Chain A
Amino acid sequence: MTFTYAAKKQAADKKAKLFRKDGIKLLLMALPFVIFTIAFSYVPLFGWIYAFFDYRPGIPLDQTPFIGLENFRNLLVDPRMGPVLINTLALSLLSILMAPIPLLFAIMLSEVKTEWFKRLVQTVSTLPNYISWIIVFSLAFSMFSTEGAVNSIMMKLGIPGTPVDVLGNYDRVWTVQTLLLLWKSVGWSAIIYLAAIVGIDAEQYDAAKVDGAGRFRMIWHITIPSIMPTFIVLLLLSVSNLLSAGFEQYLVFSNVMIADRIEVLDLYVYRLGLVTGDYSYSTAVGIFKTVISVLLLFTVNALSKKVRGQSII
């Protein structure tokens, strides 16, 4: 009797756990995002099939010749792959090197005591994140082209060596692009750190004050250690994105003078597919990128588990 009762209760508890009112609500709330992910991240994976066919737009897949792994073999001997990978890694590493800047920016911003000024700076620095790259290009063209604002002012001031060609400068492509990216993203990336700083227990600062710590001591011993875990997680995630240096930015800023140094992997995939019309090979290059990125993510994750005892996925 008791046995049956206990078993029943256990079963009922289990059921309640599964179908708690909250549970359904939470599930429903998550569902759109699950569907979103499936629709936009998993369904397109069916497109990978094109890498194994000699596809031409217009001709249905069942009439297209199957070529197996030929595209992947071509990938290994493609002379463009080397330079493209170098560009991708260089631009990614430069942006990783820039990673502490939003952190420092967030700390400095949180130290500003004048509320209206703080808000103004935050708004102004976050705004560029919402501007699309093509608009950024137009802005940059009107600022930095040979007839642009910057050169006009410098020429009026009689500064020698002008006009300076910023957008077509082969030797400074990486620097220019990294600075543009930094300008666009610094405010936005700082938001996460600002949130982390707000979450730090205020008592710690009070205690430090009592102990006689100054502003820099408090930043050094409380703020930085408290937001370090956030920083590390973001840094590790960005390492797994090493091969996704970005696309639109380089697409709009590319021109024949700097094409050799700005062509990143995603741009190469785009050029192969949409400009030269080689959809199959371009898909193969895309697959290659994805596989390497997934491998990097798991390596980084394992590393993080070993070193910090915490995994990120």
Chain B
Amino acid sequence: MRKKAGFRLALPALLMMSMLVSACSGGSGSTTATNNEEGGKTAEGSSDQLTTLRVLVMEPGTTWNSHQDSDVMKEIAKKVGVKIEYVEADENKFNVLLAGGDLPDIVRADPIKYQKQLIEGGLIVPMDDMLAEQGKDITANIPTVVDYSKKNWSNGTNKLYFLPPQVQPKPGKSVQPITIGPTIRWDWYKEIGAPEINTMDDLLSAVEQIVAKHPKTDDGKPVYGVSMWQDWGIWPYLIPPITFTEVTGATSDLTAAKVGTSDFISVLTDESSNFWTAMDFYNKAYRKGLLDPDSLTMKNNDYMAKATSGQIVVGPATWAMGDFNAQHTEDGKGYIVVPAGKLAWTGQVNPIGWSDKSYSISKSSKNPKKAMEFLNYIYSYEGARTMYNGIEGQHWKMENGVPKLTPETLALKAKGGADYEASGLSLDRNIIGLGGDFVNPNDKQPIDLFTSEEALEKAATALEKDFAQHYGAKYSGQVFQKQIEEGKLDTYTTWMNGLSDEEILKSTTVPGVVLPEDRKKQEASLKELAAREAAKIILSKDDASFAKAKQAALDSFKKAGADDFTQFYNGEVQRLRSEHGL
């Protein structure tokens, strides 16, 4: 009897305890555990003990963490003594982490958007002191970037907080396989004679011919001409038309300018913008029955599943075609970016790197010095090359003072697919500090040896070879290079022809516009509005209803202040340019 009473008392007490524990610890439990573990490891300080550095990346869907045993990771562990783990976050999760103040060791974020919160909130640490000790390669290899960062990304404190990856002051000599642009099912496109695609209408007519020939996939699923997904906001309306319009955005999705110029138009109210070009394209596709009927309800993973099963004829980028190519490495079927419109997505110079993915070290990191050592490694010639091409002696060898990739490495790359990915070579370019075309002064070769003509030819996949052959080229990039040289296509650097190095540096280092808080809110609500209006416009059944929906959308964009936003943005651009001496 007594025992029973004891039990009766114990049960609620237990319940209460467990609730309290679960309410108080929340999600932070696991983090603390890892941190303790890390702390313990560094305290011992022996070289065979690895420090785990967690890196926050704002790109859901990376494959980094699944290749922890790759040769490249082992080499990083050997040289720096760290293990790099990605913590993926979208903007929502990042905001929650910001509010909680508990950030992973290294944070990869956009300083233009977040410097105020990160620095004022004391969430990241200045790197200046550590730079002298642990950051010698950074100081030596990218001094311009360090100065630029102190000046523009320090929230006015003139300290070094952010380091952007992929620093590359000059374009490379050869054109690598292009990854963004109309990515079409090559075997089908070749079958209809690979007609020239100068406009988005040309693209649609090619798609129409293909769908007429191939209405179903091999396993009987319907083939759609074009499709898209809805969980990336208005991305599907901004990026795909760039190839044809040569108009691209800078620090806001609502304004855009011709590549190389600084007169920004409103994406929403200027009818020549990418948004309206896309509206026209998708509406025509819809009326011709070429638009996937789930386009406006699907999320990215539903879309990817369709792409993987080969149901889509053309997409916006090679990475937007699911695993189709990887599953067809043998038969050479697959999606490839074909020359189209006016712009080839290549030749980018980034004297200040990919600033929207800049690295900073968090205050909550237990190992800031180790984090700095790792950052130094990715900006060193040795480290960057290891991350692109693997280990010297194993993946590449020095021959008469010139580094050369081994035939095995080239074959591995040519085969592509899972084996190549598992090697860790060029696994995530975003993490590498120096751009692939950055020239290593010690051997006068680009850091990424895969960019040499010989490597490009030998490492081409079966699909790329077939594509190149059709156009009489040796590798896929050469197809584009020929057209660029003929003046048929522009690149991101064509406008720089005739400018001196100094002029180029000057005009590519103008600080980006930082939107104040009220403009950020306006931008967010206008983008939301645009996504809603877009659905109505795309689903217009005839010219009259298209015109009506278009007018209604234009009116509502104007009413919500789209023009006012553009005016503000242009004003800021002009101010920053004149302050920069342009």
Contacts and interface: CB of A to CB of B under 8 A. Distances in A.
A259 interface: yes
A39 B23 contact: yes
Interface string A29-45: 10110011001100000
A40 B16 contact: no
Contact of A29 (B12, B293, B517, B535): B12
B524 A57 contact: no
Contacts of A260: 532
Interface of A: 25, 28-29, 31-32, 35-36, 39-40, 54, 56-60, 63, 141, 145-147, 163, 165, 167-168, 255-257, 259-260, 271, 274-278
B296 A58 contact: no
B361 to A, nearest CB: 15
B360 to A, nearest CB: 12
B191 to A, nearest CB: 25
Interface string B112-136: 0010111011010000000000000
Nearest to A256: B535
Interface string B369-382: 00000000000000
Given A25-B9, A36-B19, A39-B23, A257 B517 contact: no
B15 interface: yes
Given A57-B95, A145-B294, 13 more contacts: A25-B9, A35-B16, A36-B19, A36-B23, A39-B23, A40-B23, A58-B98, A141-B302, A147-B222, A168-B297, A256-B230, A271-B528, A277-B521
B13 interface: yes
Contacts of A40: 23
B98 A57 contact: yes
Nearest to B118: A58
Contacts of A35: 16, 19-20
A219 to B, nearest CB: 40
A85 to B, nearest CB: 18
| A-B pairs with lowest CB-CB distance, top 8 | A58-B117, A58-B121, A276-B524, A57-B99, A57-B98, A58-B98, A146-B293, A32-B16
B12 A32 contact: yes
27 contacts: A28-B12, A29-B12, A35-B19, A57-B95, A57-B99, A57-B117, A58-B98, A58-B99, A58-B121, A59-B116, A59-B121, A60-B121, A63-B120, A141-B302, A145-B294, A145-B297, A147-B222, A147-B294, A163-B293, A165-B293, A168-B297, A256-B296, A259-B532, A271-B528, A275-B92, A276-B521, A277-B521
B267 interface: no
Nearest to B292: A146
Given A57-B99, A147-B294, A25 B120 contact: no
Given A39-B23, A57-B96, A32 B524 contact: no
* Chain B binding surface SS class: helix
A86 to B, nearest CB: 16
Contacts of A63: 120
Nearest to A63: B120
B175 interface: no
A79 to B, nearest CB: 9
B173 interface: no
A236 B535 CA distance: 39
A56 B517 contact: yes
B220 to A, nearest CB: 11
Interface in B392-420: none
Nearest to B94: A57
A200 B482 CA distance: 88
A168 to B, nearest CB: 5
Contacts of A39: 19-20, 23
A256 B532 contact: yes
Given A32-B19, A163-B293, A256-B532, A59 B95 contact: no
Interface string B1-23: 00000001100110110011001
B539 interface: yes
Nearest to A270: B92
B525 interface: yes
Contacts of A275: 92, 524, 528
Interface string B320-346: 000000000000000000000000000
A276 B517 CA distance: 11
Contact of B120 (A58, A255, A257, A274): A58
B473 interface: no
A35 B18 CA distance: 11
B444 interface: no
B531 interface: yes
A167 B525 contact: no
Contacts of A146: 293-294
B288 interface: no
B101 interface: yes
Contacts of A56: 116-117, 517
Interface in B1-54: 8-9, 12-13, 15-16, 19-20, 23
A28 B293 contact: no
Q: Which of A31, A56, A63, A278 has the most CB of B within 10 A?
A: A56
A257 B539 contact: yes
A29 B14 CA distance: 10
A28 B101 CA distance: 36
Given A31-B16, A32-B15, A274 B95 contact: yes
A39 B26 CA distance: 12
Nearest to A271: B528
B580 interface: no
A60 B293 CA distance: 47
A277 B222 contact: no
A31 B16 CA distance: 7
Nearest to A259: B532
B543 to A, nearest CB: 21
B534 interface: yes
Nearest to A28: B12
Contacts of A32: 12, 15-16, 19
